[in-house]
Amino acid sequence: MRAERIGRLLPEVHRRTIVPGTPIAALVDVMAELHAPVEDVLADLPSHFDPQRAPDRFVPFLAHWVDLARWIDDASGEFDTGVGRLRQVIAAAPRLSRRRGTAEGLREALEWALGVSGVRVDEAAADESGAPRLFHARVVLPREAAPHLALARRIVAQEKPAHVTVELVFADPGPGSADAHPEPGDEPAAPEAPPTLPVGAPPSSPEPLLPGAEPPAAGEPPG
């Protein structure tokens, strides 16, 4: 609100004293400056509710609205893969919510949040003897997701069905890749092996491991 408009709201006795260089004129100018930031926000309010255009400091607030603040690190208050990736996740929230609790939903959630492609969810994970493990799945992450293992663990723990245990592993490096044949002395450090996430005793009767899921397949890279 400009100083002139503020002055018109004052009683007549005060309006007559608003003369440049007087204390009341300076006070009105200060009031106008205090209103300016709020008016700037109100002038472009719709952009604050668009995850692609909202100010960086407002994006975590939008994550609360779509129930994705639980993916944000409590200690730092930041999203592990950056605010730009958080914008993409918020935009995809309706799709992710519809598929929550399925293998496909878990795969998409990891790919969107980590900014990688090629995540696999193996619903037919076997034990060391080759026998299938009921109510257990194996999530295979590409190697480039290693720096964000903590975020992957949070997502898996929250997005999997409650009766399923899940283990996180990294994909073997492909032939010809830098990881497959490192130069002497340049061997990359192996990522920490994540433990199986305990979820309690499984039901007594076998059920589909991840209900409603399609056969896992590597998806297209997230947009």
Same domain flag for 97 and 158: yes
Q: Which of the two residues, 208 and 92, has the higher pLDDT score?
A: 92
Is 63 a member of any domain? no
Q: Which two tokens stand for residue 153?
A: 């663990």
Q: Is the pLDDT of residue 113 over 90?
A: yes
Same domain flag for 138 and 204: yes
Is 64 a member of any domain? no
User: Largest Cα–Cα distance of the chain, in whole Å?
Assistant: 93
Model confidence at 154, pLDDT cuts 50, 70, 90, reads: very high
Model confidence at 174, pLDDT cuts 50, 70, 90, reads: low
For residue 37, the model assigns a pLDDT of 83
Same domain flag for 195 and 122: yes
φ, ψ for residue 141, nearest 5 deg: -100, 145
Structural domain count, the chain: 2
Phi-psi region of 136 (alpha: psi -120 to 50; beta: other; left: phi over 0): beta
Those residues with Cβ within 8 angstroms of residue 122's Cβ, 6 or more apart along the chain or in another chain: 137, 138, 139, 140, 216
Q: Which two tokens stand for residue 66?
A: 């779509």
pTM of the predicted model, to two decimals? 0.63
For residue 89, the model assigns a pLDDT of 95
Same domain flag for 206 and 127: yes
The number of residues making up the chain comes to 223
Q: 43: burial class by Cβ within 10 Å (0-12, 13-18, 19+)?
A: exposed
Domain that holds residue 163: 92-223
Is 161 a member of any domain? yes
For residue 91, the model assigns a pLDDT of 94
- Pairing of the two strands 120-122 and 136-141: antiparallel
For residue 189, the model assigns a pLDDT of 42
* Residue percentage of the chain with pLDDT more than 90: 44
What's the rounded Cα separation, in Å, for the pair 139 and 121?
Answer: 5
Same domain flag for 208 and 105: yes
Same domain flag for 126 and 218: yes
- Considering only CA atoms, which of 45, 58, 59, 53 is closest in space to residue 90? 59
Same domain flag for 36 and 100: no
Same domain flag for 125 and 188: yes
Model confidence at 173, pLDDT cuts 50, 70, 90, reads: low
Same domain flag for 26 and 96: no
